[in-house]
């Protein structure tokens, strides 16, 4: 939602905003506080997790590819544009998110 709001606010300024899902990546993120269920499941699903390099591929693609130059306000997965969740397109909720975020950082209605 936030990225879609940013993209709309930057329209016409030669700046793009995209959002992506890297996939389920095998990293050490939150490794120090793993719930019991994940300690049991992780060894079983680890072979299907992406390597950190593969997980970074969409980010690298969006940051460096001429193919996506000028594309803004889109969601990507596996370096391809996709449709994000239905709720991410809720304009009223996105506007509230923007306002709450602006208030939290002291930008108020000017953000």
What does the pLDDT profile of the chain (111 residues) look like in tens digits?
Answer: 999 999 999 999 999 999 999 988 888 766 677 778 777 877 778 888 899 999 999 999 999 999 999 999 999 999 999 999 999 999 999 999 999 999 999 987 655
CA gap 78, 88 in Å, rounded = 19
Question: In 1-111, which ranges are continuous DSSP H helix?
Answer: 2-10, 36-45, 52-64, 91-104
Q: Calculate the alpha carbon distances from 1 to 14, 42, 105 in Å.
A: 20, 30, 18
Residues sharing a CB contact under 8 Å with residue 69, sequence separation 6 or more, in sequence order: 16
What pLDDT sits at residue 109? 65
Nearest to 22 by CA among 46, 49, 57: 57
pLDDT of 75 reads 97
Residue 103's pLDDT is 94
pTM: 0.79
């Amino acid at each position: 939602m936030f990225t879609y709001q940013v993209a709309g606010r930057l329209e016409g300024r030669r700046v793009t905003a995209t959002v992506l899902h890297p996939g389920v990546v095998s990293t050490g993120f939150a490794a120090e506080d793993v719930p019991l269920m994940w300690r049991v499941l992780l060894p079983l699903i680890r072979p299907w997790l992406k390597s950190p390099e593969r997980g970074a591929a969409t980010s690298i693609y969006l940051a460096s590819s001429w193919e996506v130059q000028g594309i803004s306000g889109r969601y990507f997965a596996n370096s391809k544009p996709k449709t994000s969740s239905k709720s991410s397109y809720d304009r009223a909720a996105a506007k509230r998110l923007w306002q709450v975020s602006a208030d939290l950082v002291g930008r108020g209605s000017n953000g």
